[in-house]
Amino acid sequence: MNVSRIDAIEELRLRRWAREHYVPASERPDHWHPLILDEMLAKDDEIRIPARNRKPVSKPFFSLDAGHIELVTSYPGDAVSSR
């Protein structure tokens, strides 16, 4: 497959598409873009490993936002939300 370089926005778009259109590995066409296949592999791991057994990828920190305190820890495959 001939894959050209893509920018960060296009990469995020492809990864989001992969999550929204997830299919099991046995049903994935091998001609899909490598980033789509990579993101679906990450989703496979999330399905296989329950969240409570995943190790954090960052140290916990406290978010002080609009008068409340929240403990924030990220795990592999966690969706990033914007506020």
For residue 82, what pLDDT band results from cuts at 50, 70 and 90? very low
In a domain, 78, yes or no: no
Which residues are bridge partners to 60 per DSSP?
none
In a domain, 2, yes or no: no
Q: What's the pLDDT tens digit per position in 3-49?
A: 678 889 999 999 999 999 999 999 999 999 999 999 999 999 888 87
Q: For 62-66, 72-76, 78-82, which range has the lowest pLDDT when averaged over its residues?
A: 78-82
Over range 68-73, report the average pLDDT: 58
Question: How many domains are contained in the chain?
Answer: 1
In a domain, 56, yes or no: yes
2 vs 47 pLDDT, higher one: 47
* Angstrom distances, CA of residue 21 to CA of 45, 53, 66, 79: 16, 25, 35, 15
In a domain, 20, yes or no: yes
In a domain, 82, yes or no: no
- What's the CA gap between 63 and 71, in Å, rounded? 6
Residue with tokens 């495959």: 77
Range of the structural domain that residue 27 is part of: 8-72
pLDDT at 55 over 90: no
In a domain, 22, yes or no: yes
In a domain, 77, yes or no: no
Could you tell me which of 22, 29, 58 has the C-alpha nearest to residue 43?
A: 22
